[in-house]
């Protein structure tokens, strides 16, 4: 696919400086880009490449000063990084739109309802009463259990498994090998010491515009629903247990584990390898540092915590600063003890 500078400027609401008819057909990093590629400059430390790059078109911010001669056509925008992200998203949408049809072999139950302009890849399995919304893409090797619903314009990448009765919204992206709706971890201890499985009869609801990384597991609810609210972004290798709720626009980094029935508010940021116990609540806007262990409810919105067990971030920094000075403080304490002894001996 080829795009001219004027077409790109129209997509990102930019202003062209140079040849509006010059075309590009791929993307490149500004330090490596060649003729026919588009690059962008957002970080000032790469400014020198602005004058040496071979990129045909460069997206730059309105505030960027030009100090030397430039051979590339420029497109100026308020925020180069955001504009480039918009352009990449549009590019992906165009590529996805071109991907339509049903490959063979697949299994599609007779009761499946298929929207328009969908794609179903080879070796996919679609069970009874599955619904696929318009323009959604089901890549090879995907399993959709009975009564699964996929909204419009969603992308289910290769190897994803979505168990029965789960509901996926519109504009959702689920990356490879993620499992949605496997059983929650529920076992009842018996008098003989054995563990009896508690049936997990709920489901998982993924609302609109959620993105889920690869190899993540989201368990179905025991009763009711495990819910990922609209706009949430989940990284790779997460474990989200039964009956958890993740709020709107919350971001969770890789290798985090969230135990059952915990309710996480909206606009929360959780760093990698954090652990959160079950049956607690995390207030809106909370920031949880990487490798933190959260064992109690966080009631105050916009709180930042760190450590295990996690506590106030500012207090934690102060504690760390004091800890660094402990050897010196120990010496001062010993000196004071010696001074007290000498004063007592002189009495």
What residues are annotated to the active site?
242
Produce one character per residue of 28-49: b if its CB has 16 or more CB atoms within 10 Å, e if not: bebeebeebbbbbbbeeeeeeb
**Distances 163 to 79, 95, 199, 204, 268 between C-alpha atoms, Å:** 41, 28, 14, 9, 27
Going by C-beta distance under 8 Å and a sequence separation of 6 or more, which residues neighbour residue 243? 184, 202, 221, 222, 223, 224, 225, 226, 260, 261
Peptide bond preceding 308: is omega within 30 degrees of 0, i.e. cis? no
The runs of H, that is alpha helices, within the chain are 5-12, 80-98, 313-324, 326-345
Q: Say how far apart CA 185 and CA 259 lie, in whole Å.
A: 9
Residue 77 has phi, psi (to 5 degrees) of -140, 165
Going by C-beta distance under 8 Å and a sequence separation of 6 or more, which residues neighbour residue 122? 103, 104, 105, 106, 140, 141
């Amino acid at each position: 696919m080829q795009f001219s500078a004027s077409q790109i400027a129209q997509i990102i609401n930019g202003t062209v400086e140079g040849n509006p008819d010059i075309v590009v057909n791929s993307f490149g990093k500004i330090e490596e880009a060649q003729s026919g590629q588009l690059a962008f400059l957002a970080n000032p430390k790469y400014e020198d490449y602005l004058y040496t790059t071979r990129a045909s078109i460069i997206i730059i911010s309105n505030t960027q000063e030009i100090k030397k001669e430039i051979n590339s056509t420029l497109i100026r925008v308020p925020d180069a990084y955001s504009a480039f992200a918009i352009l990449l998203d549009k590019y992906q949408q165009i590529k996805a739109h071109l991907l339509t049809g049903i490959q063979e072999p697949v299994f599609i139950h007779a009761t499946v309802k298929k929207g328009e302009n969908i794609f179903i890849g080879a070796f996919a399995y679609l069970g009874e009463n599955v619904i696929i919304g318009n323009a959604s893409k089901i890549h090879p090797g995907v399993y959709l259990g009975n009564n699964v619903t996929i909204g419009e314009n969603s992308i289910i990448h290769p190897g994803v498994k979505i168990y029965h009765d789960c509901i996926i919204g519109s504009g959702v992206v689920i990356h490879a090998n993620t499992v949605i709706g496997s059983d929650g971890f529920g076992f009842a201890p018996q008098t003989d010491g054995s563990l009896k499985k508690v049936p997990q009869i709920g489901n998982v609801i993924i609302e609109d515009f959620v993105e889920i990384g690869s190899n993540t597991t989201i368990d179905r609810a025991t009763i009711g629903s495990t819910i990922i609210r609209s706009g949430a972004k989940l990284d790779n290798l997460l474990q989200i247990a039964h009956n958890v709720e993740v709020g709107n626009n919350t971001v969770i980094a890789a290798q985090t584990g969230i135990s059952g029935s915990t309710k996480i508010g909206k606009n929360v940021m959780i760093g990698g390898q954090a652990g959160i116990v079950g049956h607690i609540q995390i207030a809106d806007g909370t920031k949880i540092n990487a490798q933190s262990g959260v064992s109690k409810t966080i009631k105050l919105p916009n709180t930042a915590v760190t450590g295990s067990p996690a506590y106030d971030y500012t207090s934690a920094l102060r504690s760390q600063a004091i800890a660094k000075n402990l050897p010196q403080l120990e010496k001062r304490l010993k000196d004071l003890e010696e001074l007290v002894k000498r004063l007592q001996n002189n009495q």
